[in-house]
Structure formats: C-alpha cells, structure tokens
Structure 1
Amino acid sequence: MPDTENLQDWRRLIDAAELTRFTTEALTTAGARPADAAVTAEVLVAADLGGVESHGVARLRRYVEGLRNGDINRFGVPETVTDAGSVCVIDAHNALGQPALCRAVDLATDRAREFGTSVVAVRRSNHMGIAGWFAERGARAGMFTMVSTNAVPQVAPMGTNEPMFGTNPFCYAVPTSGGTLCFDGASSTVSRGKLEQLDRLGKPMQSGWALGPDGQAALGAAETVTGLINRKGYALLPLGGGDQNHGGHKGSALGLFAELLCGPLAGARWSRHTYQGGEAGLGHFVFCLNLDALGDQEVIRTEVEQLAREVRGGVPVEAQTPVRIPGDRRRLVTEMRLTHGVPVLESVVADLNDLAEFVGIEPVSALTYET
C-alpha cells in the first residue's frame, strides 16, 4: 500500500485477463447476455490496454447501471432491418452498442467480399467505446474500414456556444504487411472522457478546449464535465477551436459529416435528439473496401507498410522524439501493459469494487501499485 493519503496519482496494476474477467462478470450479472458481455468487456479493456483510459473500464458503471435500470435494453438483439446487398441497416433495439457495432463490422466485411464495397448503418444504439477496435477488426479481415458514431450533444459548431454535435469520432484502419495502420480521433479538440480523466488526476485542462456559459474559455475540468452532463451551457470546441484562423470550420464540418452519416442517413437521431423519448438513439456507420477488389492485396499491404516506414523515417523536429504514425503509441503501450499489467487509477479501482458489491461479484484483484 502506498505511504500517502493522496491516492489520486496512484494506480493499481491489474492483469488484463483479470480486468476482462471482472468486466465480463459485472456485465453478465447486470443482465447482459454472455456473448454481449464478452465483446463489450474486450472493447473496454482494449481501451485501457492502449492508454485510452477515458474510454476504458472507468465507463463500466454507466453500462452496469443502464442494464440494471432498463436504460439499456438487456434483452435487445441487433436486427438487420434493411438488406440491399452492399448496403444494410441494423436496428440495435437500444441494446449495448459494442455488440451491435461488432455485428455491423462483420456484416460489412462479408458484403464487401461479395460486392467490393459495403456500407452498414446502425440505429437505436448506445455508446460503443473506442472506434479503433471495430475498424481494426475490419482491417484484419482484409478491408480498408472506416467507422464513425454520433453521441450526445457536447460540441459547439464554430460561431455558436450552443452544443449541437457529439464528439463524433472518425476512425479508419487498413491492413499492412506489418499489421494494421489505424487512426481513431474525435472531431472535437478534446473528448469529455479526456476531461473526466484529468479531473480524476487533479490536473488542469487547457484554454481553447471548451467554453463556459458566458461564451468564454472554460478552465476547470470538473466544472466543465458537470456542465456538459447537466447541459448547463458548457460546450466543447470543434477540432481547430472556435475560429477559422486555426481551422475550427474544418472541425465543425467533420462533426457535421458524422452527424449526417450516423443520424439522418442511418435513420437514427442526430445528437441533439439522441436520448429523446426515454431510450438511446445513437447511430453508427461502417464502410468497408475490399483490398482484393483494388488489386493484389499483398502488394497493397506491402506498399502501405512502406509508406508508413517513410513517414516514420522523417527528420524529427525534436531529436529525442521520433516521428510516429497513428496507432504507434497505442501499440507500444498495449504490448507493455499486456506484459506488466494495466495501470488503473485508485479512484477507478474503488468504483469497480463498489460495482462488485452492487452486483454481488468478487472485487477486481490488483497486482501492485505504481505512480
């Protein structure tokens, strides 16, 4: 046990298998079907393994409570309601988002094998975790895969301080001869999950990330998170910020693009209306392009890997900081954490153990402490 009364900067190292076991059991006990619990746990733990703690097991409580109180339909089974060959639509029936989007990716890869390209949209879904997990699933099947989702309104388009868009990530992944190349990022300057993580750590947020009710820069992570959740006039800024000089119009356009794909085009609600009527209305979007339809897949994989090597080989601005491409850091962090354990904040461990007592399962077993 660390010799300090302030544990906010301490983390417990937890074996990834143990973290997955705990998360799966908590979801199953809360009412999720075993297969749905397993894929949801895999996505959450993958986020922690890759250093994206904002989308990891720290979010488990919202799933467990949603399943228990009926906000998430534990009986819902994703259903294909439109099948036009290379274009399909899945109704998630307000069930867990991860199983619905996993089914969408698998359907999209199957149809892209047949037709060369495919689109699968998902409607009436819930939060689905990190988009990169799903895009990489498609890439491992030999597809260039793009995934997006909308979310509750938190981002103010350039020119207003009213939240109208979700953080609306875009993600793409492509197979290479050395693995997968994957980018996963929000269309906002920062995600709410990042602010929640800063709040847990007691660290400040930066100016230019969010606005307060007065339209001025918000500077407190805790008050901004609370204001976003309670819709008290706080708003995140789009990628590029709140003015055109730094590209805020481009971030706004990307956020709108995601709303189009995952809202009206998917037959889902857009962000301002996602939770109207007492159930989730989130939309997801999957696009797959079969590399075999473009030419020799092995040649394409090799050339993508060569491109990646050339980018990494660029002269670094700072000699001690190598040039990276999307996914490099996450891959290195994952390898390290699979070997040594996943560092989980003490406050998150405490919340997990509260959940264990709430649903009646064994608490998560930690290995040791680190700072």
Structure 2
Amino acid sequence: MSDVRSDSIAAPSLIAAIAAIFEGCGLGPDAAALAAEDLVAADLEGVASHGVMLVPMYVQRLKAGSVSTLSAGQIVIDQDAVIVIDAGNAMGQLTARQAVELAIERAARHGLSAVAVRNAFHFGTAGRYARMIADRGCIGLVMSNTRPLMPAPGGAAALTGNNPIAIAAPSSGSFHPEVDMALSAVAMGKIRNAATAGSAIPKGWAVDKEGADTTDARAAIEGMLLPAAGPKGFGLAFMIDLIAGGLSGGSIGAEVNPLYGDAEKPYGCSNLFIAINVAHFVSTDQFGIRAASEIARINGSRRAPGVDRIYAPGELAFVGRQNSEGKASIAASALQGLIDAGKTVGVDVTRYINEEKQ
C-alpha cells in the first residue's frame, strides 16, 4: 500500500470533523475543539506522525475509558512558582494547555516557574507548547516521557523512552527559534507510517526485538528505536524520564504503558513545563533583537554547494506552517482512519470535507 496523499483539506474543516468525533466520545465542545486544533496543527507543519493519524487511537482509548473526558487536570501541589497537576488521564492537549497557562502566569511573578504533570496522556508535539510559552515573552521548555522504546548503547532491552524535549525562545520577528525532538533517531510515528505504506526504513533507525539492525518497519515496531547520537541521546532521554516522572510523582520507565497497547490501560506518562520570563533578566526587546540577529546570522552563513537556504532551528517547520495556507495534506490511510473513527460515533467526516469543497 503506497502512502498516497489526499487532496489538501482546509484546517477548519478537519478541526470541525475531529471535534465532532471527540464530542461523540463525551468531550465538551470547547475541549474537543482545542484538542482537534492541536492535532491538525501538527499536520499543517508536516508532522503527520503527531496529527490526524492519531485520532483512531485516541477514540479507541476514549471509548475504552483509559482517556477521560475531563477538560483539565487537578492541581495537587501549588507552591506558586512550582505546581504539580494530576491530569487524571485527560486528553494531553488539554492538560498541556493548562500547564502552559499556569507556567506563564507564575513566571510573570517570579521570573521562572515549573509545572509537572502526572497521569498524563499523549499531547502531540512538544514544540507547539514551547512556542505558546515563547509567544508570551518567556523561554519555554517542555518535556515528556514515554514507555521504554530504546536500549542502552550495546543493549538489547528497551530501558527508556524516546522522551521528547522542546525549547523555544522569543525573538523580535514572527519566527521564534525552537528545538523540538524525540531522542530516538526517528519518531515511532514515522516508522508506523512506513509500516502502513509497506515501505522499508533506513538502517540506523531501529533494531528488532533481538537487538539486531533492521530496515523492516514492522520488525522495528516489535523491536526498539535507536537513540539519537548514541549514548548522548540515551543519556538525555534517561534524565528526562527521571526528571518528568520524579518531579511529578508520576510514572517513570516501564511504569508508562504502551500508547498503542491495551486501550483499557491508561498511558500514564509524565510531563514537565518550564517557563523563564525574559523580562526578569534583561529587556524583552533586547533579547528579541539579539535572537533575531542570531537567526539572521544563521540564514546568511556561507552555504555548501547545491544548498539554496540555511534554516535556523525550527524555521523549516515555521516555513511549512506559513506555506500551508491553512490546508493540511493528509495521507489517504490517515484520512480513511479518520472516516472510520467517525463512523464509530455517528460522525460523517466526508460531510465536513465535502462542505468545504462546495
């Protein structure tokens, strides 16, 4: 099966369709719309692994009860600059937004803040929430753990997740420099995309369950991802696992359940959101101008032969968002998955898409 792209679909139509599906699963209208918006945002910047393709799994878990229909988590510790939220297995996008708002608010008072979240569900792309923090004049750091997916260098047992981390800083321009990465050589979502398409994966992405290199996507799913940059990626992933899980009082390592495992078992990951208010250190304008200057320095640096443009960290995704013109190109398999998920709750996804084309 080839990974054929569908026609580009306007983001509002996709958001409305997904929101209707989530409402059909019991979410309130506002919560459903926010979660849908954050998923579609990933497709708009070309990160299909964290977008619409996740909806069938989300629906399965909502219907099984391992994801709750709560619109927010419960604050269980509040020491002003330090907060711990028990997400109660609510949609990750909702508790991530809750944590972001609290982190920004408290950093405005204290210069920096940290919000740890336990019993959390998948929240999509970490970079989206780091950018939300940067949009408000703060440096944002967002991290999460996952179930064990990677072996230690030389090992043949999965010990830690590919635990994503994102960092974003404000600049005086419309683009804020950003790093958003899982700490494996590649995200599991890309391997799942390859498996769906029947495509091979590059060597160095993953190993099979015995620890041997593989280019077979399905063997990789049953096996383990390889850490980015070997021991460096493994070490950073381990520390994120320990920090996010340890500070929140939540799950660490194998205590996090597989995202695509038993739909009745809560995922139960742990998150950490940190906001550093720039104005407590230097002038916000000064920082933003210096950030923009550094971006320009990267863009204007000498290019290697055959290279048309050099991008600053996060700029390629930014350009993707700008060039999308509010439309997302969805894989045919992902679109069919969305349609099928809609049918389980009485939502005709094609109606939303066809209305757009009329």
* Common topology (TM > 0.5): yes
Q: CA RMSD in A?
A: 1.7
Aligned equivalent of 1:273: 255
Q: What residue is the counterpart of 2:76 in the other structure?
A: 81
Note the C-alpha offset of 1:34: 2.1
Task: For 1:161, give the aligned amino acid.
Answer: A
Note if contact 1:119-1:286 (Cα within 8 Å) is conserved in structure 2.
yes
* Distance in 2, Cα, partners of 1:358 & 1:331: 35
CA distance in 2, matches of 1:165, 1:39: 30
After superposing the two structures, state which structure 1 stretch, 309-318 or 106-115, moved more.
Answer: 309-318
* Alignment map for 1:102-141 (pairs within 5 Å): 102-141=97-136
Does structure 2 conserve the Cα–Cα contact (< 8 Å) formed by 1:16 and 1:338?
no
* TM-score normalized with structure 2 length: 0.93
What SS class does the counterpart of residue 352 from structure 1 fall into? helix
Paired letter, 2:311: R
**Counterpart selection for 1:193 from 175, 189, 194:** 189
Gaps of 5+ in 1: 1-5, 228-233, 241-247
Q: Is the 8 A contact 1:12 1:349 kept in 2?
A: no
Q: Is the 8 A contact 1:76 1:92 kept in 2?
A: no
Tell me if structure 2 keeps the 8 A contact 1:172–1:183.
yes
Q: Identify the match of residue 56 of structure 1 among 41, 48, 51.
A: 51
Deviations 1:311-334 (A, max 9, x none): 111112233341111221111211
Task: String of CA shifts for 1:264-290, please: whole Å, max 9, x gaps.
Answer: 122111131113994332100011110
Paired residues in the alignment total: 347
In the alignment, what sits opposite 1:292? Answer: 279
Aligned amino acid, residue 356 of structure 1:
G
Q: Percent identity?
A: 29
Instruction: Give yes or no for contact 2:28–2:71 (8 Å, CA) kept in 1.
Output: no
**The one of 234, 238, 242 aligned to 1:252:** 234
Check 1:197–1:278 CA distance in 2 against 1; reply closer, same or farther (3 A cut). closer
The corresponding residue for 2:346 is 360
The separation in 2 between residues aligned to 1:183 and 1:172, in whole angstroms, is 5
- Given the alignment of the two structures, is residue 38 of structure 1 paired with residue 30 of structure 2, yes or no? no
Structure-2 separation of matches of 1:127 and 1:352? 18
Deviation at 1:52, TM superposition (A): 0.2
Residue identity in the other structure for 1:174: A
Whole-Å Cα distance in 2 between the matches of residues 219 and 124 of structure 1? Answer: 34
Are 2:151 and 1:153 aligned? no
Partner of residue 227 from structure 2, selected from 238, 247, 251: 238
Cα drift, residue 7 of structure 1: 5.8
Offset from partner CA, 1:162-214 (integer Å, 9 cap, x none): 11211101101111011211110011111110111222333321111111123
Q: CA deviation at 1:75?
A: 3.8
Counterpart Cα distance in 2 of 1:146 and 1:131:
9
The match for 2:294 among 284, 304, 307 is 307
Instruction: From 178, 199, 205, give the equivalent of 1:203.
Output: 199
Q: Secondary structure of the residue that 1:263 maps to in structure 2?
A: helix
One-letter code aligned to 1:236 = L
Secondary structure at 2:343's aligned position in 1?
helix
Task: Measure the CA separation in 2 of the matches of 1:290 and 1:329.
Answer: 26
Normalised TM-score (structure 1): 0.89
Give the match's secondary structure for 1:175. Answer: coil
- 1:217 alignment partner in structure 2: 213
CA–CA separation in structure 2 for the residues paired with 1:212 and 1:176: 43
Question: Structure 2: which 5+ residue stretches go unaligned?
Answer: 259-263
Deviates more, 1:269-278 or 1:354-363: 269-278
Task: Give the Cα–Cα distance (whole angstroms) in 2 for the partners of residues 156 and 168 of structure 1.
Answer: 13
* d(CA) in 2 for partners of 1:208, 1:288: 35
Q: Determine the structure 1 residue equivalent to 2:261.
A: none
Q: Is the 8 A contact 1:126 1:280 kept in 2?
A: yes
Q: Does the 8 Å contact 2:208/2:219 carry over to 1?
A: no
CA, structure 1 residues 219+119, in 2 after alignment: closer, same or farther (shift >3 Å)?
same
| Aligned with residue 166 of structure 1, among 151, 161, 164 | 161
Deviation at 1:304, TM superposition (A): 0.5
Bigger shift: 263-272 or 142-151? 263-272
> Which is further off, 157-166 or 16-25?
157-166
Structure 1 residues 29 and 12, CA, compared in 2 at 3 Å: closer, same or farther? Answer: same
